[in-house]
Amino acid sequence: MKTFESIQNIRAHLSTLKHSGKHIGLVPTMGALHNGHLSLIEKSQQQNDITVCSIFVNPTQFNDLKDLEKYPKTIDADSKLLQDIGCDVLFSPQVSEMYPDDPTIKLSFGELESTMEGASRPGHFNGVGIVISKLFNIVQPNKAYFGQKDLQQVTIIKNLVKQLNYPIEIITCPILREENGLAMSSRNTRLSADDRAFAGIIFETLSFCMQSVETDSIQHILQKATGRLENSRINIEYISCINLETFQPTSNYIKTKTAFCIAAQIGGVRLIDNVIV
């Protein structure tokens, strides 16, 4: 595996490969890699000649500085994992390489970002949009891989690609879970063993919502789900049923176009999860 920290050097390396007709897949991450990330890498390896994984904890997408400071950083272990699964290229730039100056550009995604993560984390999708645009311009992949775990994010990236005509296919990959249903996340390493076991309640609640949708009203399901989650150990940020095309709350269930989404803090760790019905 080749590792680059410099934009100029990774560009030069990939340019040679592209000229020889190689297809490139990009998996953008913030590191502290787990099996969820590795499933995206494997998907890219199946569909491309060269897989590039980027590891960059992007400061512009954090609205909470403490959250940024606490974000786990395990670059040596990540690099070894990537090497072991045969990833071709690791791009792990420093903040000064990606942002020699503070970006003044602003990206907005209209109603798609007016709810859930967009509403809870002001400026988050502006930062995501900027860093992903930069990575797309640096790597120029044929395909890029994102997890359904960050459902609003992947929808916004598809919208970015459409609005700015990036010649890149966006592939959405399924959510990998722990045995108790907890969606794998780099943040899970900050949970105590007890909280990690308890956090299974998030997926249990989402599964309850999914099972109830044919027989109960959305409003009633959300009430019951909130009741199930309410507990002194959990701080619910939102529990929403949204239309997947608009990301607006919906009370009408349309098969494959409806999702239940939860954001909650357990032991001070912010967790998100969703199910598409």
Residue 197 tokens read as: 């076991």
Exactly one of 14, 25, 37, 195 binds ligand AMP (CB under 6 A); that residue is: 37
Exactly one of 60, 133, 186, 212 binds ligand AMP (CB under 6 A); that residue is: 186
Least distance to ligand AMP, CB of residue 61, Å: 9
How many CA atoms are closer than 13 Å to the CA of 42, on its beta-carbon side? 12
> Residue 118, interface with ligand AMP (CB under 6 A)?
no
Q: Which residues pair with 54 in a beta bridge?
A: 28, 91
The answer to whether 37 is a known catalytic residue is: yes
> Residue 127, interface with ligand AMP (CB under 6 A)?
no
Decide: 187 and 33 in contact? Cβ < 8 Å. no
Exactly one of 136, 146, 166, 247 binds ligand AMP (CB under 6 A); that residue is: 146
Q: What distance, in Å, lies between the first and last C-alpha atoms of the chain?
A: 39
DSSP letter for each residue of 129-145:
HHHHHHHHHHH--SEEE
Decide: 185 and 270 in contact? Cβ < 8 Å. no
DSSP-derived 3-state class of residue 171: strand
Q: Which stretch binds ligand AMP (CB under 6 A): 46-54, 109-117, 131-139, 172-180?
A: 172-180
Least distance to ligand AMP, CB of residue 272, Å: 10
Q: Which is nearer to ligand AMP, 41 or 50 (CB)?
A: 41
Least distance to ligand AMP, CB of residue 42, Å: 11
Q: Which long-range contacts (CB under 8 A, 24 or more apart) does 202-206 make?
A: 202/229, 202/262, 202/264, 202/271, 202/273, 203/177, 203/273, 204/228, 205/229, 205/239, 205/262, 206/260, 206/262, 206/273, 206/274, 206/275
Q: Which of 13, 19, 23, 37 is catalytic?
A: 37
Exactly one of 24, 40, 98, 139 binds ligand AMP (CB under 6 A); that residue is: 40
> Residue 274, interface with ligand AMP (CB under 6 A)?
no
Exactly one of 10, 14, 24, 36 binds ligand AMP (CB under 6 A); that residue is: 36
- CA–CA separation, 82 vs 92, rounded Å? 12
> Residue 53, interface with ligand AMP (CB under 6 A)?
no
Find the binding residues for ligand AMP in span 220-259 (CB under 6 A). Answer: none
- CA–CA separation, 39 vs 206, rounded Å? 22
Which single residue is written with the structure tokens 């994010």? 153
Exactly one of 50, 131, 170, 184 binds ligand AMP (CB under 6 A); that residue is: 184
Q: What share of the chain is helix, strand, coil (3-state, %, to 5)?
A: 45, 20, 35
**Count of residues near ligand AMP by CB under 6 A:** 17
Least distance to ligand AMP, CB of residue 260, Å: 17
Q: Which is nearer to ligand AMP, 118 or 221 (CB)?
A: 118
Find the binding residues for ligand AMP in span 10-29 (CB under 6 A). Answer: 29
Q: Which residues bind ligand AMP (CB under 6 A)?
A: 29-30, 36-37, 39-40, 146-147, 149-150, 173, 175-176, 183-186
Residues designated catalytic: 37
